[in-house]
Amino acid sequence: MYLAGVMHIKHLLSLISVSCVSLLGAKEPLLVYSHRHYESDTALFDQFTKETGIPVEVVKAKANALIERLKAEGDKTKADIFITADAGRLGLAADMGLLEAVKSPVLEQRIPAQYRDPKGFWYGFTLRARVLVVSPERVQESSLDYEDLVKPEWKGRVLSRSSSNIYSQSLMASMIAAHGAEDARAWAEGLKNNFARPPQGNDRDQIRAVAAGLADVAVVNTYYVGLLHDSPEKRDTDAVSKVKIIFPNQDNRGSHVNVSGGGVVKGSPQKEDAIKLLEFLASEEAQKSFPNGSREFPVVPGTPLPELQASWGDFKSDDLPLSKLGELNAEAVKLMNEAGWQ
């Protein structure tokens, strides 16, 4: 009877010991809500786990769906990080109180001030330029500005995404910042009047349409050219071979640029680990990886480029702080609607 009691106590102590080791040794996974869909991002998260022992779990969905989910979850959310494309969306999430301002000497040293929120609500980690893709057979100009596309000679020759697209909205916001609301509205109306067709499809579709002769110039993000270049489909690689990139506004303010980035979700259960992941995405290792995986540009200056992006040439980028894109988003949408840009 005594022996049985002793054995029972030893068994209980063993269970308690195992439980304590489990609780002390196991790391809860960081929960990332991400709009991005690249295998290279998954590889980076895996590498982060390998180096730190912090597991990462990713929930993928459209940016607006993730924002609505965070709103619905409120202070009960288990999410730690929100990642999406476009500073306008990141600014929207911050304005809605979904992100928490964080300070990190690493992020502030690595990421240029214009590519992060001044209060620390979000940090960019990849860069893309909104450029002009043209048919070299039908467009002789070697340089163009966004403002040129409203001139009479471009009537019926221009393609762009819809005004409901965040990339169009952020470009419009940059025009407001550069020229003021009245002139930006006039530009939007002039651009709409020069469309070769009503806005439809994504950036890939605009590039394919220029290659097929449906228009002569399209406003697109650089990385879509890279993704078509890497496509296994012959129609995509053929399309890229029939167009060239012009970086606009090289003799004045520079080309409009934007970021993919992330911020710590307000109330994150693992704030310190979340900051570590953001710092990892700004590391030399991650910054070298992004251009190969997603064909975006690294956000950290001096990071070497793959051969493809290097072949596009150096360009001057607009130095507008990207936090302005979020601040001006509502006005941009209003003016685009007034201009009839669908």
In whole angstroms, give the CA distance from residue 288 to residue 282.
10
Query: 244 has which bridge partners?
Result: 134
Q: What is the pTM of this model?
A: 0.88
pLDDT class for 23, splitting at 50, 70, 90? very low
pLDDT 10s digits, 168-218: 999 999 999 999 999 999 999 999 999 999 999 999 999 999 999 999 999
Segment 254-260 mean pLDDT: 97
Q: Which domain holds residue 271?
A: 21-126+260-309
pLDDT class for 17, splitting at 50, 70, 90? very low
Q: List the single range of 12-16, 233-237, 316-320 with lowest mean pLDDT.
A: 12-16
In whole angstroms, give the CA distance from residue 142 to residue 136.
9
Q: Is residue 8 part of a domain?
A: no
In whole angstroms, give the CA distance from residue 77 to residue 230.
37
Q: Is residue 158 part of a domain?
A: yes
**Whether residue 13 has pLDDT greater than 50:** no
276 with 185, same domain: the answer is no
Q: What's the mean pLDDT when you consider all of the chain?
A: 92
117 with 264, same domain: the answer is yes
**Whether residue 85 has pLDDT greater than 80:** yes
Count up the domains in the chain and report the number: 2
What is the predicted pLDDT for the residue at 25? 52
188 with 246, same domain: the answer is yes
109 with 58, same domain: the answer is yes
Element (H, E) at 134: strand 123-134
In whole angstroms, give the CA distance from residue 77 to residue 70.
7
Q: Is residue 101 part of a domain?
A: yes
106 with 246, same domain: the answer is no
332 with 201, same domain: the answer is yes
In whole angstroms, give the CA distance from residue 240 to residue 308.
12
**Residue 165 DSSP class:** S
In whole angstroms, give the CA distance from residue 211 to residue 168.
21
**Whether residue 249 has pLDDT greater than 60:** yes
170 with 39, same domain: the answer is no
Contact 41, 90 (CB under 8 A): no
In whole angstroms, give the CA distance from residue 35 to residue 175.
26
What is the predicted pLDDT for the residue at 27? 74
3-state secondary structure at position 222: helix
Contact 326, 90 (CB under 8 A): yes
229 with 179, same domain: the answer is yes
What is the predicted pLDDT for the residue at 26? 62
What is the predicted pLDDT for the residue at 1? 41
284 with 143, same domain: the answer is no
**Whether residue 11 has pLDDT greater than 70:** no
213 with 291, same domain: the answer is no
323 with 201, same domain: the answer is yes
pLDDT class for 261, splitting at 50, 70, 90? very high
How far, rounded to the nearest angstrom, does the alpha carbon of residue 281 sit from its chain's CA centroid? 13
Segment 100-125 mean pLDDT: 97
How far, rounded to the nearest angstrom, does the alpha carbon of residue 205 sit from its chain's CA centroid? 19
What the block records as the tokens of 209 is 């349409």
What is the predicted pLDDT for the residue at 21? 32
In whole angstroms, give the CA distance from residue 149 to residue 146.
6
CATH code: domain of residue 91: 3.40.190.10
